[in-house]
Structure 1
Amino acid sequence: MKIGIVDTTFSRVNMGAMAVDEIRRHASVAVERITVPGVKDLPVACKKMIEERACDIVMALGMPGGVDKDKMCAHEASQGLIKAQLMTNTHIIEVFVHEDEAKNENELAWLAERRTREHAVNAVKLVLYPEALVKEAGTGQRQGFDDAGPARR
């Protein structure tokens, strides 16, 4: 079993190190990590992790800026990640933390760490313990901020 981590230099937080640390807390698996300049570089890097480094799942970590151009680039990167998943029949967990999600730098760093760590656990569950995710179905899980919880009738 091997989990790939692809992060960016554009991110203002070392999300890759956090993901590796959290994966190692939850599973004894091989981890491959590479870093690319920005979010639009993530799709091909993730695809290469799957095809050339035999990763069973990949986390794509990025921190798009808050201006409209950055949002458009994040959307394009997201579309590329979806295509890479379909081309390889392999999950790529997109973990984006947009700079405008946080009120200040402290909250941005906190959110990046929390979302990255929670998605790292999701990656482990997807490949090693998929039944754990079935138990969480419909519970309103959110990565980063508080869970929404299930809707009540």
Structure 2
Amino acid sequence: MLDKKKSLIIMLLGIVLAIVGLLSTIFVDGGDMISRLSTLVFALGFGLIGGALGSLYKIKRIEKIPGKSKQMEIEYKDERNELIRDKASAKAGDISNWLVLLIAYICIVMGYPIWLIFLILGVFLAKYIIWIVLMNKYNKEL
């Protein structure tokens, strides 16, 4: 659920990352790779700030409606809604798997370096290994 303290921590982390990225862009001249990394850190910081501000705005809007927070918490913990979320997550994971394979195939056809293709296929295999481990774990629990 929405948590004001968590959102504030994420916003603070975003501010720190944005400042670090900005300062490293200004004061560090380490070449192209460092420049890209600095820009990435700066953008990640502002992304976290934006997400946290959105969460805080949503929390503020929910707090204005009496009982809305409690109702949302009940709906979130409802078994039917949990089942729907789990099913949607599983379907999204299956679709993502096929997209990863499609990206690997496109990389093969376009002649990208072999290490990149193996990295993409490694992500695909890691997902299935994690899936097998979790299936065994849940079979033992239930």
State if a TM-score over 0.5 links the two structures. Answer: no
TM-score by length of 1: 0.25
Task: Return the structure number with greater strand share.
Answer: 1
Higher relative contact order (CA 8 A, sep 6+): 1
